[in-house]
Amino acid sequence: MGNIMDKQQALYNFYNSFLPAYDENSVPEDAKMPYITYQVIIDDLDSVVFPTASIWYRSDSWADADAKVNEISQYIETMLPVPLKDNGFMHVTKGTPFAQRMAETDTTVKRYVLNLGIEFLTEY
């Protein structure tokens, strides 16, 4: 993720590095789980936004979803800010709570909601 990009592309690349990712308002009808849906929330530099993302799996077990949440958590703790086209950076942090299991009417659908903080930083 070292390429300079706009804020929307930086968000997409972050999520898509873990699973196929879709803006929560444009999931294709033929999308196959697992995938991530995410809110596109951006702001000016030197601001923080608090979007959510959902991880979706189809399984009788939470094991794969749990593993993916752990992978994302560990990555966030070590990731460097991503350079942006407007001479700033995007830095992803964990919100509180970071991850929460969600009940779905189809019990084979396993969904986690992730709470994130995204800082848009000025280049110093």
**Mean pLDDT throughout 18-37?**
96
Q: Which residue has the higher pLDDT, 58 or 5?
A: 58
The rounded distance, in Å, linking the Cα atoms of 59 and 109 is 6
Q: Is the pLDDT of residue 108 over 70?
A: yes
CATH number, domain with residue 22: 3.30.2000
Q: Is the pLDDT of residue 1 over 50?
A: no
pLDDT tens digits for range 36-91 = 999 999 898 888 999 999 999 999 999 999 999 999 999 999 888 888 888 889 99
Q: For residue 17, tell me if it sits in a domain.
A: yes
Q: What angle do CA 15, 104, 65 make, to 5 degrees?
A: 40
pLDDT in the model for residue 122: 87
Give every CB contact of residue 29 below 8 A, 6+ residues apart in sequence. none
Q: How many domains does the chain have?
A: 1
pLDDT in the model for residue 116: 96
Question: What residue numbers bound the domain in which 66 lies?
Answer: 7-122
Share of the chain above pLDDT 70, in %: 97
pLDDT in the model for residue 3: 66
Q: For residue 52, tell me if it sits in a domain.
A: yes
Q: For residue 117, tell me if it sits in a domain.
A: yes
Q: For residue 2, tell me if it sits in a domain.
A: no
